[in-house]
Amino acid sequence: MDDKDDLHPTPQETLAMTEDEDAPQPEVARIRRKVRSAGRDGRVRSKTIAPKRLTRDERRLSELLVYPEDVERPESRHECSQMQRPCPFVSCSHHLYLDVNPETGAIKLNFPHLEVWEMAETCSLDVADRGGITLEEVGAILNLTRERIRQVEVRGLAKIKDHTGDELGLPPERA
């Protein structure tokens, strides 16, 4: 074999390298294998990755991850709104791909069956900028049922009412 062969990988080697680059993290890949088909309502349930369940190798790998220096994150909402969509910054607190529990460190994949670029909406601020939407639409965006969205809404409004002592100008049936 001469040096030219070493510089140009075979098609099989190229395919293997591409698959490795696009492959999800081991824990995410494991969860995706476990995801069952959609339920009666057409939804695939979210999955949670508990830090206690990570293997020693996965923890070691996470400590070695370094944020690329050549990637500039937006510093304001204006910069963010001008960037490409779907948003690639899943670590942003407004990103809809995953949620992190600050108390336990558990990571909840809201759409375990999708990649980030396959999501219809990736930023909660973009959704809020569009204005009011129905409970069904919120449920589809957050991968939750309409009833769960209603429960969260009632709980949030109760907290606001308790904190401010105000009815928020809501009609009596919603207060």
Domain assignment present for residue 142? The answer is no
Domain assignment present for residue 50? The answer is yes
C-alpha gyration radius of the chain: 21
pLDDT-derived band at 7, boundaries 50, 70, 90: very low
Per the structure, the complete domain to which residue 112 belongs is given by 10-64+76-130
pTM confidence score: 0.62
Domain assignment present for residue 115? The answer is yes
| Partners of 109 in the β-ladder | 47, 98
Domain assignment present for residue 161? The answer is no
Domain assignment present for residue 4? The answer is no
pLDDT tens track for 50-96: 988 888 888 888 888 888 888 888 889 999 999 988 998 888 889 99
Counted domains in the chain: 1
Domain assignment present for residue 154? The answer is no
Answer yes or no: is pLDDT of 28 > 70: no
Domain assignment present for residue 5? The answer is no
Domain assignment present for residue 14? The answer is yes
